[in-house]
Amino acid sequence: MNFVIVLLALLGSVWLLAVVEGWTTTGRLRPAAPLLSGLAHLGRESIVPRTPDRVFFETAPVLLLIVAVLGAAVLPLAPTLVIADLATGALFINAALAYVLVALIMAGWGPNGAYAMIGGWRFLGQLIAYAMLIVMPITAVAMRAESLVTTVIVGSQDGLWNIVYQPLGFVLFFIAAMALAFRAPFDLPTAPGELGGGVDAEYTGVRLGVLRLARLTLVITLASATTVFYLGGWHGPLLPPWAWSLIKTLAVAVSMLLAGRYLPRIREADLMRWCWTLGIPLALLNIIVVGLLVLVVP
């Protein structure tokens, strides 16, 4: 039952995000647009490029969708509303999201196209920038909760949310999450206007539809992870717990969208340089500060 509810919540959030995305780009609020464009994708011809790596080409969009849903499976909407409350939840979400990289390499290599391939390998380079900034802030979150269980992590933020307790970790995680979801300004693997769509370039029709759905689901999963790890998850007054989880998740997702709209695309070398020379030392500092707080403050 939880499985169905969480999946529906995920789908609903994706739909809302797609509506908001359309609103910010076209200026018109059209609730039916995501559905219509999805149907249009189904109706269009889905072209397979010449001499593709067929297995990779077909698997990549589906794999991306699966890992996004798997990541969401360990994130609670309410104290009991979680698909799998694993003892290693905070690690599991890392494991699931590591396959975003694999899916993008497949999508890049599969179509046998230059732009796609550059996009795919570029995301592998980007891994060096964002991976540590995903894992290290989560480490600090787990240190405070003294657990990897996601429901316990939310429980540990009962009095004080992690965004206040470890703001540095929040900022680093938020940036890294945007890079992992390859949203603007970190949309280097797709880079419209520079790589002509990159990993998206050779996908059409139903395959492109799945790819788009997967990307939006990934954004929602990462927004939900931000909510669980830093924004107190289901905690909040008056409204029921699940409502708070959804509101916060959507707020984070929309803030990612807006950040992307008003910032120029970052250069690949700059992203890596800043993440390594600034991001990682700050993440270490965050771990030390949280460690001291955990030991000193009862």
Question: Which residue ranges make up the site for another protein (CB under 8 A)?
Answer: 51, 53, 55-56, 86-88, 91-92, 94-95, 98-99, 101-102, 105-106, 109, 112, 121, 124, 127, 131, 147-149, 269
Q: How far is the CB of 127 from another protein (least distance, A)?
A: 6
With respect to another protein, which residue has the nearer C-beta, 68 or 149?
Answer: 149
With respect to another protein, which residue has the nearer C-beta, 9 or 106?
Answer: 106
Find tokens 């206040």 and name the residue: 164
Q: How far is the CB of 217 from another protein (least distance, A)?
A: 18
Q: How far is the CB of 221 from another protein (least distance, A)?
A: 16
> Residue 54 burial (CB < 10 Å; 0-12/13-18/19+)?
exposed
With respect to another protein, which residue has the nearer C-beta, 142 or 184?
Answer: 142
With respect to another protein, which residue has the nearer C-beta, 14 or 118?
Answer: 118
Q: How many CB atoms lie within 10 A of CB 284?
A: 13
Ranges of H-type helices in 27-88: 33-43, 54-73
String of b and e for 2-17 (b: at least 16 CB within 10 Å)?
A: beeebeebbeebbbbb
Q: How far is the CB of 131 from another protein (least distance, A)?
A: 7
Answer for the pair 254, 20: CB distance below 8 angstroms, yes or no. Answer: yes
Q: How many CB atoms lie within 10 A of CB 269?
A: 9
Q: How far is the CB of 147 from another protein (least distance, A)?
A: 7
Q: DSSP 3-state assignment of 21? A: helix
N residues, the chain: 298
Q: How far is the CB of 209 from another protein (least distance, A)?
A: 24
CA distance 29 to 19: 7
With respect to another protein, which residue has the nearer C-beta, 252 or 290?
Answer: 290
With respect to another protein, which residue has the nearer C-beta, 238 or 269?
Answer: 269
